[in-house]
């Protein structure tokens, strides 16, 4: 339930922001195929669409990118 709430929150943050690019760091991702929760992933959204979900990547993002730290939330 907590994971579903976090995903809902993240999606609404992406859609309600005035920034065109958002990086959400250290989120839990739900693997629906294997029925597992994967922790420590980063999600990049551009213009309201998720364009990247990965782990352990260094980002070179444009100035003005909104960065949200989700660890512990």
Q: Which of 18, 24, 20, 13 is CA-nearest to residue 69?
A: 24
CA proximity to 4, closest of 37, 33, 34, 26: 37
Does residue 59 or residue 28 have the better pLDDT?
28
Burial of 24 (0-12, 13-18, 19+ CB in 10 A): buried
Q: Can you give the pLDDT at residue 28?
A: 93
Helix (H) or strand (E) holding 67: strand 66-69
Q: How does pLDDT run across 9-51, given as a tens digit for each residue?
A: 666 666 555 558 999 999 999 999 999 999 999 999 988 899 9
């Amino acid at each position: 339930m907590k994971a579903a709430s976090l995903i809902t929150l993240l999606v609404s943050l992406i859609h309600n922001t005035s920034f065109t690019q958002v990086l959400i760091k250290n989120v839990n991702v739900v693997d629906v195929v294997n029925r597992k929760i994967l922790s420590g992933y980063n999600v990049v959204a551009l213009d309201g669409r998720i364009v990247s979900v990965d782990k352990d990547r260094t980002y070179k993002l444009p100035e003005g990118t909104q960065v949200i730290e989700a660890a512990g939330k």
